[in-house]
Amino acid sequence: MATTDDSVNGMTEHCDDCELDTLHEVSVQIRTESLKKENAQFSREPYRVAECQRCGNRTSQRMNNA
């Protein structure tokens, strides 16, 4: 779970690689999931992407599990 830390400008989250709560850069990316061109416009989904600023480990999670 992400938390804000008043001593640091950013989001801290648990990093599985560092095994610590570290500063993360968090963004949302829209990804196309279909490989077929005729369906690509209907298969875009938002993903939450978090990158550890200590070790560079990047994780992503699909936000819409409909």
In angstroms, the CA 50 to CA 55 distance is: 12
What would the pLDDT profile of 36-63 be if each residue is shown by its tens digit? Answer: 888 777 888 999 999 999 999 999 999 9
First vs last Cα of the chain: how many Å apart? 22
Q: DSSP strand E in the chain: where? A: 3-4, 11-15, 20-32, 44-52, 58-62
What would the pLDDT profile of 10-28 be if each residue is shown by its tens digit? Answer: 779 999 999 999 999 999 9
pTM above threshold 0.95: no
Q: Which two tokens stand for residue 40?
A: 């690509």
DSSP 3-state of 42 = helix
What are 47's strand-pairing partners? 29, 62
